Amino acid sequence: MTRTRAASLLFSLALLLPGAIPAAASDPLSGVSYSEGACRSRAILGFITSDFGYRAHHYLKTDIAIAEIRDMHLNRLEPRDETHLVEREYCRATAVTTDGETRALWYLIERGWGFAGIGSNIEFCVGGLDPWYVYGAQCASLR
């Protein structure tokens, strides 16, 4: 490999790495381990509450928000192994919304997701508030 080609390759890698660092720093799962109970993590519940407010306003065209999340617990765990390349925690909770209703909240926490297995993903569904069945009937795919 020529010196110019090696320098070009290193420069390209240097440009990619700084872009990955802020994504990890803004990750709601950074610093949360299974032993701490990610289903109860304030960062994760805050992400769900915030993102639900955005989705309700922009997609459901309604002025509804999550006022409280309670009774959080792990529903199922798929640890990372030879057959599962992404670690998954399936959680269930109860969401109290600002319209006074109590609804089932299902959420999935995935680790090792994203570019080169770095980062995480959080998916959630509030029962009765998924009119397009993105997560199946009664949030079935997140159970």
| DSSP states of 22-75 | HHHHT-TTTT--GGG-GGG-HHHHHHHHHHHHHHIIIII-S---EEEEEEEEEE
pTM over 0.85: no
Predicted confidence at residue 36, as pLDDT, reads 52
Express each pLDDT in 101-122 by its tens digit. 999 999 999 988 767 677 889 9
For 11-37, what is each residue's pLDDT tens digit?
Answer: 333 333 333 333 334 555 555 555 458
Per residue in 68-102, pLDDT tens?
A: 999 999 999 999 888 888 999 999 999 999 999 99
pLDDT of residue 113: 76
